[in-house]
Amino acid sequence: MGFPAPADVRAFLQNYGLDLKSTLTLQGTTAVGSAIVTGLDTTGLRPWMYVAGTGIQKNTQIASVDIVDPTNGQITLNAPATAAGSPTLTITYYSVLGDDWYTDVLNKEIIPIVNRMTRQSFNGIQTVTEYYDGTGSSVLSLRRRPIVALLNLSYTNVDSTLYYLSPMAMQVIADEGVLKAKANFNESTYSPVFWKGQKNLRVTYSYGWATCPDDVSQAIKYILASLALTQVANFTGGGNLSAQGYSRDFGKNGRYTDLRSSLVHRAYALLRNYASGAGS
């Protein structure tokens, strides 16, 4: 599936994502007592956009886009027209943030945070060399997972690689990021070869996902949507919004607060399975 594109987040937020006020001017055909408007370009229209013009009642919104067409489209309003004709319609809406904003936030904020939180890499296979304190046991928990390949393992104070610290002498539990030292290459028993010490073990390994899993991509989309709404709220203000002939209360905690909280909780629920365990 990969990471969500800006268009994916826009589609998810089309009924919520409001930032800078924009207008469209279109020609359409109305009939008295009918909420249907025909003969207009509907390619850029969405439900909940506001419509004004001759014969259109105050605070009228688009209830549905019935036919998507650049010349002969059709929409249904949430209130009937009071006059017949071909009026000039002014469509008012709040446009969603641009592609650059989504890309920057995704690459510079969300992916690094998700990778750190889960100790995994969802943007390709990575190779690292890390130093660990020996535990005096047969088990060593690495900081990152899933392990793709154990490349090298040695003591920092021994020049030559000892055979019992070679990758071949290790059982790798990839999903948990754990190494277990096999005794005499028999996986039924293990040897406490990770001698106690401070940063006395050097481990080189590759880890991560070649392609982002679908549920992680969905979680990232929820986080992107939440941050987009935060940015939108910063532009447009919290609490309530008032304009000529229009007023809306967004609650005592400000605009989109409950929705943003819900999106973050949904994201964490999806990421929980990837965030279990702890590195040494």
pLDDT at 16: 65
Instruction: Look at residue 14 and tell me if it is in a domain.
Output: no
**pLDDT > 70 fraction of the chain, expressed in percent and rounded:** 81
pTM of the complete model: 0.62
Question: What letter represents residue 158's amino acid?
Answer: V
pLDDT at 146: 94
Q: Quick check: 56 pLDDT over 80?
A: yes
Question: What letter represents residue 218's amino acid?
Answer: Q
Q: Quick check: 37 pLDDT over 90?
A: yes
Ramachandran sector of residue 3 (left: φ over 0; alpha: ψ -120 to 50; beta: rest): beta
Tokens coding 41: 């370009």
In whole angstroms, what is the distance from residue 41 CA to residue 71 CA? 5
Q: Quick check: 46 pLDDT over 70?
A: yes
Instruction: Look at residue 31 and tell me if it is in a domain.
Output: yes
Give the CATH number of the domain where residue 90 resides: 2.40.10
pLDDT band at 182 (very low <50, low <70, confident <90, very high): confident
pLDDT at 278: 45
Q: Quick check: 21 pLDDT over 70?
A: no
- The answer to whether the bond into 6 is cis (omega within 30° of 0) is no
Instruction: Look at residue 156 and tell me if it is in a domain.
Output: yes
Tokens coding 83: 């006059």
State the helix-helix crossing angle for 214-236 and 257-271, rounded to 10 degrees. Answer: 160
In whole angstroms, what is the distance from residue 259 CA to residue 125 CA? 34
pLDDT tens sequence across 71-87? 999 999 999 999 999 99
Closest CA to 43 of 8, 74, 2, 82: 74
Q: How many domains does the chain have?
A: 3
pLDDT at 151: 95
Instruction: Look at residue 57 and tell me if it is in a domain.
Output: yes
Instruction: Look at residue 256 and tell me if it is in a domain.
Output: yes
Q: Which residue has the higher pLDDT, 195 or 77?
A: 77
Domain that holds residue 129: 125-207
Instruction: Look at residue 29 and tell me if it is in a domain.
Output: yes
Q: Which residues pair with 93 in a beta bridge?
A: 22
pLDDT tens sequence across 216-244? 999 999 999 999 888 877 665 554 555 55
